Amino acid sequence: MNHMHVDRSLCEKLFQAFHAPGALPSGGVTRLGYSDTEDEMHAIFRREAESLGFPVTTDEAGNSFAVGIPGAPYTLLGSHLDSVVDGGRYDGVAGVIAGLLVMKAMRDAGSTIPVRTAAFRCEESSNFNHATLGSELITGKISMDELEKLRSRDGMPLTDIFHSRGLQLIPQHIFGLLRYLELHIEQGRFLEEAGIPVGIVSAIAAPRRFTVTIVGMAEHSGATGMELRTDALPAAAELILEVERIGRREVSHQSVATTGIVNNYPNVMNVIPGETSLGVDMRGIDRESLRRMERALRRAAGMISARRKIPVRVERLSAREPVPMDPSLLASLRKAADALGIRTMEMPSGAGHDAMCFADICPTGMVFIPCRDGISHNSREYAELSDLCAGADVLLSFLSREI
Ligand SMILES: [Zn+2]
């Protein structure tokens, strides 16, 4: 089969179609999961898919599916339509548009390969402090206990929101999948710096998150002698620097570590900090590397505590495992890109995606496209639609080689 390409003018049209909901003066968008704005995005998805001749169904968790070519088992393409607060227009939307573009090109070429495009709900953690909710619900990745704890930013229980929307907290699970493929903006700078239009994702990194609490003694900053004080903040400062060192030591394993939160109490000028807590986020695709980083964090906390004679408590908040993408799918996607003369590089995903939920259900793969300066979750997020089309072409080429 000769090279097919997705329709670039349709890409432009679809991108414009998704423009309005949640648009902000900053140029960014706010489209929180399970909000009216997200509903508007799904209504646009339905309208645009149906106008291309693809029937759309909604599942019991509110996710939308456009049927490109009916039949089973089918290839599912997709991503999400919600955003963070003041986020960009490409995160998620790019993958949904890519799905529609690929299906249109396949159908126009007379393909009989069953394919659908999903628009998942609530992929971002911005509304409920919980990510990939729509895809977790239909793949059985979240328990009722967890669901019952979730509250929206406005304090509404998810259970109430689902009830008022007629959605099911225990929805029917998705079935009939042959594979899942997702295009997404990279949200980093590797592709841009390498001048490569398409990344093939090797694995999705898992976050390990910790709260580190350092308990000193809040006392008068003038009246307490230097040798008598137990200052929590300098101990925290040492640990912050150590977290950075731990991350740097694991660079060759593609791991990262950040202290994203500092809470200092009472945080006033004339009081020695009595308690400082840190939020530490470590990510990687290599389990051993993640374990090493956790051990190093605990060891550093112990040493700082002993040396400074100050209690340091490390509490693990979450420890997900990295999610590898399907190796044979990776190889096939690379070959498909090669056939088109599109340069690719293999790379891990530092961010989480809907694809994580599918990797243990069916062969799962992801392609990344560059975003300018690596900026994402920000109104300045920008990707070239030509790169979106190149990424979609890779998916199309991969699927057409099956014909
Ligand atoms: Zn996303």
Kindly give the distance from the C-alpha atom of residue 80 to the centroid of ligand 1, in angstroms, as a whole number: 6
Peptide linkage before 266 cis (omega within 30 of 0) = yes
Kindly give the distance from the C-alpha atom of residue 83 to the centroid of ligand 1, in angstroms, as a whole number: 7
pLDDT recorded at residue 210: 96
Q: Where in the chain is the domain with CATH 3.40.630.10?
A: 8-204+323-400
Kindly give the distance from the C-alpha atom of residue 358 to the centroid of ligand 1, in angstroms, as a whole number: 15
Closest of 55, 73, 74, 75 to residue 65, by C-alpha: 55
Kindly give the distance from the C-alpha atom of residue 353 to the centroid of ligand 1, in angstroms, as a whole number: 6
Kindly give the distance from the C-alpha atom of residue 51 to the centroid of ligand 1, in angstroms, as a whole number: 25
Kindly give the distance from the C-alpha atom of residue 335 to the centroid of ligand 1, in angstroms, as a whole number: 25
Bridge-partner residues for 77, per DSSP? 117, 181
SS3 96: helix
| Distance separating alpha carbons of residues 164 and 179, to the nearest angstrom | 33
Backbone angles phi, psi at 167, to 5 degrees: -100, 160
Edge-to-edge strand list for the sheet holding 256-265: 256-265, 275-284, 206-215, 312-319
Helices (H), 88-132: 93-108
Identify whether the C-beta of residue 88 lies closer than 8 Å to the C-beta of residue 379: yes
Kindly give the distance from the C-alpha atom of residue 351 to the centroid of ligand 1, in angstroms, as a whole number: 8
Kindly give the distance from the C-alpha atom of residue 376 to the centroid of ligand 1, in angstroms, as a whole number: 9
Kindly give the distance from the C-alpha atom of residue 237 to the centroid of ligand 1, in angstroms, as a whole number: 32
Long-range contact list for 40-45, CB < 8 A, 24+ apart?
Answer: 41/81, 41/82, 41/93, 41/119, 42/81, 42/119, 42/121, 44/17, 44/18, 45/18, 45/81, 45/96, 45/119
**Running along the chain, 403 residues long, what does each successive block of 10 average in pLDDT?**
85 98 96 98 98 98 98 98 96 98 97 97 94 97 95 96 97 98 97 97 93 97 95 98 98 95 96 97 94 98 98 92 96 96 96 96 98 94 97 96 59
Kindly give the distance from the C-alpha atom of residue 116 to the centroid of ligand 1, in angstroms, as a whole number: 19
SS3 4: coil
pLDDT recorded at residue 239: 98
| Distance separating alpha carbons of residues 97 and 91, to the nearest angstrom | 11
Kindly give the distance from the C-alpha atom of residue 227 to the centroid of ligand 1, in angstroms, as a whole number: 50
Kindly give the distance from the C-alpha atom of residue 82 to the centroid of ligand 1, in angstroms, as a whole number: 8
Kindly give the distance from the C-alpha atom of residue 165 to the centroid of ligand 1, in angstroms, as a whole number: 24
Kindly give the distance from the C-alpha atom of residue 124 to the centroid of ligand 1, in angstroms, as a whole number: 7
Kindly give the distance from the C-alpha atom of residue 365 to the centroid of ligand 1, in angstroms, as a whole number: 15
Kindly give the distance from the C-alpha atom of residue 384 to the centroid of ligand 1, in angstroms, as a whole number: 16
Kindly give the distance from the C-alpha atom of residue 93 to the centroid of ligand 1, in angstroms, as a whole number: 8
Kindly give the distance from the C-alpha atom of residue 77 to the centroid of ligand 1, in angstroms, as a whole number: 14
Kindly give the distance from the C-alpha atom of residue 266 to the centroid of ligand 1, in angstroms, as a whole number: 37
Kindly give the distance from the C-alpha atom of residue 92 to the centroid of ligand 1, in angstroms, as a whole number: 4
Q: If you classify domain 206-319 with CATH, what class do you get?
A: alpha beta
Kindly give the distance from the C-alpha atom of residue 49 to the centroid of ligand 1, in angstroms, as a whole number: 20
pLDDT recorded at residue 402: 56
pLDDT recorded at residue 2: 60
Q: CATH classification of 8-204+323-400 is 2.40.420.20, yes or no?
A: no
